[in-house]
Structure 1
Amino acid sequence: MDGEIARVYGNRLRVRVCGLCWQADNLLVVRHRGISANGFWAPPGGGLETGETLEDTLVREFLEETGLHVRPGRFLFGCEFLHPPLHALELFFEATVTGGTLRVGDDPELSLLTDAAFLPVTTLAAEAAPDAHGIFRLAGSAAEVRKLCGFYRI
């Protein structure tokens, strides 16, 4: 892990709002550098700001990271990521594209994004553990990801 990531996000609880956005059986993901040597694929999402609703966070994060405007849908599931110094609670919602053009956006705090794409879940599940979000170890296909509900430790 990059030292800058640990400095900015470490040693505190971070609440993140993430979205699952589908194009057929391909899931929209962004690649972050600095988390693992090969980059880290994860659904778009980011930190909840004080006074911001969960839905507004999702809309903002998708626009920042992908250039896409989305409509938040139903709440799907939650995850806890606890690997000191990082600790995050992630709340996953459905997200439907309503406009914009897919592009590699940025993370205003660290500008660590290198790619944005709709990829098959099977491809993401085949990535080495440090290179893809933990949900892809729980669910290795689009059908399995769509069945996730409840709470998971990843």
Structure 2
Amino acid sequence: MRRKLRVAAYAICVRDDHVLLARSPGWDGTLEWVLPGGGMEHGEDPYDTVVRELLEETGYHVEVAGLLGVSSSRRSLPRRGLRAPVDLHSVRLLYEAKVVGGELRFEVGGSTDMAAWHDLDAVSGLVRIPLVDAALRMWRERDPGVA
């Protein structure tokens, strides 16, 4: 089984009791809501990753307010075509960010197909990845006086 380490940076952006999410197909093709963000490129600072990914996936320019926490997961992914199964270890840096410019738009030719603001109270009814709930929990538990 191949082993792969993936380090990624994501942001939670909340405005007027709405959270910004992107929609992406899961491993089985099911469309699910995710945090905007993604994998770090070699040599890239995580702050730069999250700023770049937010712009690519949502059209927004953001200012990173601070690190909320780190999430780690490990799972086995089945064989895909001729590729061997993968033991995937994901390390995800979760940031709080504020929209400072740009306009909402959908990513073209990327890993997501749309972005949208969702009422915080409606998130529990969305098909979403568990990282969304973990990030919201970190955001709710943060000390808003510390940036």
| TM-score of the pair, normalised by structure 2 | 0.77
Whether the aligned pair in 1 keeps the contact of 2:24 and 2:113 (CA below 8 Å) is yes
SS in 2 for 1:113: coil
Counterparts of 2:104 and 2:57, CA distance in 1: 9
Counterparts of 1:20 and 1:121, CA distance in 2: 12
Q: What's the offset of the Cα at 1:115?
A: 1.6
Which ranges of structure 2 fall in alignment gaps of 5 or more residues? 78-87, 143-147
Alignment of 1:4-15 (within 5 A): 11-15=3-7
Q: What's the offset of the Cα at 1:78?
A: 1.3
Q: Which has the higher helix share?
A: 1
Corresponding residue number in structure 2 for 1:6: none
Corresponding residue number in structure 2 for 1:146: 139
SS in 1 for 2:123: helix
Q: Which one of 130, 133, 143 corresponds to residue 129 of structure 2?
A: 133
Counterparts of 2:15 and 2:108, CA distance in 1: 22
Counterparts of 1:34 and 1:134, CA distance in 2: 12
Question: What one-letter code is carried by the residue in structure 2 that aligns with 1:113?
Answer: T
By relative contact order (CA 8 Å, sep 6+), the higher-ranking structure is: 2
SS in 1 for 2:113: strand
Q: Which one of 102, 105, 115 corresponds to residue 103 of structure 1?
A: 105
Counterparts of 2:102 and 2:51, CA distance in 1: 12
Q: Which one of 59, 66, 71 corresponds to residue 74 of structure 1?
A: 66
**Identical counterparts, % of pairs:** 32
| TM-score of the pair, normalised by structure 1 | 0.74
Counterparts of 1:145 and 1:123, CA distance in 2: 18
